[in-house]
Amino acid sequence: MAYEVTANKERPQTFKELVGQEFVVATLTNSITQGRIAHAYLFSGPRGVGKTSAARILAKALNCEQGTTDNPCGSCASCKEITYGNSLDVIEIDGASNTSVNDIREIKDEVLFAPNSSRYKIYIIDEVHMLSNSAFNALLKTIEEPPPYIVFIFATTEIYKVPATIRSRCQQFNFRLISTEQIKMKLREVIKGMALEAEEQALFWIAKEATGSLRDGYTLLDQVISFSKGAITLDLIRDKLGVVGIDEINDIGKLLVGGELKDVLEKSSALLDMGISVEQFVIDLAEYFRNLLFIKSGVRREALLSYPVESFSKDILEALSLEQLEKATEMVLELFRNLKFSLNQRFELELLLGRLKRLDELITPAEVIEALKKLKASISGRVETGELVTAAVDGGMEKNVDQVDRKFWEDLINSLRKEKLALASSLQKVESWKLESNELILYFKGKNKFSGEMVCKEKDTVTRKAADILAGEVKLTVSYLEDKKKGEGVEEKRVEIVKKIFRGEIVKGA
């Protein structure tokens, strides 16, 4: 027996078998039961969701030898002829191949003749939006007042290309994308019928890649079965189709927030050398950050995520804020849009990874505005009172790292890295530090002020870890280094800075 692809073998033959189109099914079956048969139907929606199948089922329902019914028997001569596509009274036309007005004129001549042996003469025109304007105009009168035995069923993936004059003469049905869970369920039924074995994660990946199209899901399943040798696993799919797994992406994510750039580049290079395309790498990276963003926002449904929540590294979720994840997703999507114009896609990917490595330096617009407000208030107060205040330690201060036990600092960083990766990264940006008696003093440069603020927020955690290492109580103080300038005109210079930042001017009081 000749091989038949799954998409054709599993094509629905009754309304009950039509997956994910409950509204369409309910409306059509009710209209058939009530005898309210329209002379023209317009089925629109994405590819592979059942438009053509619904058209054939409707044709069988109207011409079944058992009588007009919402549940055609499928065994009579009329139903079998429609199923195999050789019915004389159900004419299927490819709108993409028959676009001219002459093709439509032939239909106008044919509709004058009654059906050969059925109740209705049914024309199913697929991809109807491909017809020319002249062809559409030629159809207008025919579909508005056809003979009582004529039924038109149009199908299209681009409803907006169908003229309003045509749409207004048809009953319109909008087919929806099929959910991932429903596609997964149908794939499981197919696998069971073939006596094969498949991992749930593998079926979930195929269903997700189908993007709402059951036909695409069946097609991808056929491809996977061809190299699976009886057992479908996610690892095998990754290996054969060049997909980046969650473990590899997690490794890259950890390096982005806590490793060195050279490690990130080497890891990505190793994945590309395995045969994974740059485009697929970027797609997987975008999906990964999107999932992290969802989890950070409280989403836990596996149907919305590509993997269970437990599959994603907690270290990365703690290290990156919601704003940083949004920015990362935006950057990856922008790269994907620009890949087709790239001189070298691999270079573009490496540049993106370098930018993602600096996510912890990201400052949101809200943070900038808040910082400017604080700066304005601070400088305004100093100008009004004539007081110069510096929050910095004298610029001549030397680092005290060499004067204390280096092992304490290394132990502190390492212990925090295991528990809170972002906090450890912030401590690594300390410019200098010293330990006097039971007080640990940290000095940050002004450009690393946000890292200092993070340390302040986690003050209890830092002091607890330091106390564990030193076996004694520790007090933590955070200070910021700034240049201390002396001489005349200091206040005037600061006023000028404020003027430039806020584009203002000095107004003297009366």
Long-range contact set of residues 104-109: C-beta below 8 Å, sequence gap at least 24:
104/131, 104/135, 104/138, 104/139, 105/138, 107/139, 107/142, 108/138, 108/142
pLDDT at 388 over 60: no
Segment holding 151, helix H or strand E: strand 150-156
> What whole-number distance in Å separates Cα of residue 364 and Cα of residue 182?
40
pLDDT of residue 380: 60
pLDDT at 327 over 80: yes
pTM exceeds 0.75, yes or no:
no
* Selected residue with higher pLDDT from 123 and 97: 123
* φ and ψ at residue 153, rounded to 5 degrees: -130, 115
pLDDT of residue 395: 37
pLDDT at 228 over 60: yes
Question: Which distant-in-sequence residues (6+ apart) come within 8 Å of 60 by Cβ?
Answer: 13, 72, 74, 78, 79, 82, 83
Query: Please, what's the b/e burial string for 169-206 (b: 16 or more CB within 10 A of its CB; e: otherwise)?
Result: bbbebebebbebebbbebbeebbeeeeeebeebbbbbb
- Amino acid identity, position 417: R
> What whole-number distance in Å separates Cα of residue 233 and Cα of residue 202?
5
Q: Which of 257-261, 411-415, 486-490 has the lowest mean pLDDT?
A: 486-490
Quick one: average pLDDT of 378-388? 52
Tens digit of each residue's pLDDT (9 = 90 or more) over 35-66: 899 999 999 999 999 999 999 999 999 999 98
* φ and ψ at residue 312, rounded to 5 degrees: -95, 140
Q: What percent of the chain has pLDDT over 90?
A: 32
pLDDT at 172 over 80: yes
**Confidence category of residue 490, pLDDT binned at 50, 70, 90:** low
- Domains annotated on the chain, with CATH: 6-174 (3.40.50.300), 180-241 (1.10.8.60), 246-361 (1.20.272.10), 391-481 (3.30.300.180)
Task: State the average pLDDT for the chain.
Answer: 83
Nearest to residue 334, comparing CAs of 314, 361, 350, 352?
352
Tens digit of each residue's pLDDT (9 = 90 or more) over 129-150: 988 888 888 888 888 888 999 9
Q: Which of 155-169, 378-392, 448-462 has the lowest mean pLDDT?
A: 378-392
Angstrom distances, CA of residue 129 to CA of 136, 159, 403, 487, 490? 9, 7, 79, 78, 72
Beta-ladder partners of 92: 124
Reduced to 3 states (helix: H, G, I; strand: E, B; else coil), residue 127 is coil
Reduced to 3 states (helix: H, G, I; strand: E, B; else coil), residue 245 is coil
> What whole-number distance in Å separates Cα of residue 85 and Cα of residue 10?
16
pLDDT of residue 390: 40
pLDDT of residue 389: 37
Quick one: average pLDDT of 224-249? 84
pLDDT of residue 373: 77
Quick one: average pLDDT of 202-216? 90
pLDDT of residue 486: 46
Reduced to 3 states (helix: H, G, I; strand: E, B; else coil), residue 197 is strand
pLDDT at 509 over 60: no
Q: Which of 18-27, 76-85, 107-116 has the lowest mean pLDDT?
A: 107-116
* Selected residue with higher pLDDT from 250 and 483: 250
Tens digit of each residue's pLDDT (9 = 90 or more) over 265-323: 998 998 888 888 899 889 989 989 999 999 988 888 877 777 778 888 888 888 888 88
pLDDT at 387 over 50: no
Quick one: average pLDDT of 96-114? 83
pLDDT of residue 40: 93
Pair 404, 441: CB distance under 8 Å: no
Segment holding 369, helix H or strand E: helix 365-385
Pair 44, 159: CB distance under 8 Å: yes
Beta-ladder partners of 477: 441
**Confidence category of residue 510, pLDDT binned at 50, 70, 90:** very low
Tens digit of each residue's pLDDT (9 = 90 or more) over 408-464: 788 888 888 878 888 888 888 888 888 777 888 888 887 788 888 888 888 888 888
**Confidence category of residue 12, pLDDT binned at 50, 70, 90:** very high
> What whole-number distance in Å separates Cα of residue 125 and Cα of residue 111?
14
Reduced to 3 states (helix: H, G, I; strand: E, B; else coil), residue 356 is helix
pLDDT of residue 479: 85
**Confidence category of residue 501, pLDDT binned at 50, 70, 90:** low
> What whole-number distance in Å separates Cα of residue 276 and Cα of residue 241?
8
Pair 466, 440: CB distance under 8 Å: yes
pLDDT of residue 399: 39
* Mutual angle of helices 261-273 and 246-258, in 10-degree steps: 160
* φ and ψ at residue 90, rounded to 5 degrees: -120, 105
> What whole-number distance in Å separates Cα of residue 327 and Cα of residue 308?
23
> What whole-number distance in Å separates Cα of residue 143 and Cα of residue 109?
13
> What whole-number distance in Å separates Cα of residue 213 and Cα of residue 157?
12
pLDDT at 219 over 90: yes
Question: Beta strand 432-436 with 439-445: parallel, antiparallel or unpaired?
Answer: antiparallel
**Which ranges in 48-196 belong to alpha helices (H)?**
51-63, 77-84, 101-110, 133-144, 164-167, 180-193
